[in-house]
Structure 1
């Protein structure tokens, strides 16, 4: 079965349980948005899917089980996670950061041209150390690096954090275009709910570690 299927997902930090049996799905070429109050478990849910938090339950991507695998194994299966912190390598240049995510050095130049079609701002900073970029530019770099791996499923935790209002629209236009043209499945945690729902095929409201409400939206 294609797509992501999550059933009975539970996760905890020490003795504190954060997720209490989450069920959700993301279909082929869909974008799902997670909304809900702070502390509801949205970030933990993404971390569980990418292997950064130990979890129990059933998670499959295109029928392949993910739980119990190391984060690097899950990444090789096509799940890339851009955390709230972004995770760029500050001393390395933008080009060097992007090379980390590239599928192969043989196709790196072509991959860069492909990426610049969506994020042209990165092209102007290729030789600049990542640590000297603005916070918003560093988030674009982190997302761009993940996209160069051509993920099957992209997890984005608050991608609009640190972005100027004008850049917010540019980023979400790019995310929408990538989803349409490349068929990349995405789960986006975002507090800018109205903006995120404009590109969502489905949305889930997370409250107290559970899915509180499900709304499906077909807008495109």
Structure 2
């Protein structure tokens, strides 16, 4: 059967998964003789699950938000109970992306619930790869709370980001901490707490102003 026709028998997430797996196998076959490039089973699973997540992100940029959410839900349903530690980060990413997509649809209560799920499930995990999705979930939650005029709660969330990740050396985490502080300063400004806002902005400059 023509491979393109075969894809018609699968849901979109399943089709994307098959394509990713086929590409992975092609890469393995094309390796030079004697070169061991075969990833571990865990790495294979992680690469395969990232394909539908990326597809969900593309659907979101095309304003196919409901389709994107369906993709993220499918990722969680398929891989959440797989028992493979390498799949925890992609599952967390899928949840974060789902929360963001929900917020773009003004389904803010649902978005906040998803961000809370990420923090509750992965916030104490020892895997360094989970720290960035957790930080992203918190920053996004703070921003969403701010759009709902729940400023005090938003500030508390930004403070949590700084408390959890303020001393992190990872550049991605440092960027999220800087964003949390900047958003906190902005929120304080909307509350006419200008002196506090300026102090927070000064903190951003002091800690991150010399970052190359």
Note whether the superposition's TM-score is higher than 0.5. Answer: no
How does the TM-score come out when normalised to structure 1? Answer: 0.27
Structure with the bigger percentage of strand: 1
Tell which structure's C-alpha radius of gyration is larger: 2
What is the TM-score with the length of structure 2 in the denominator?
A: 0.28
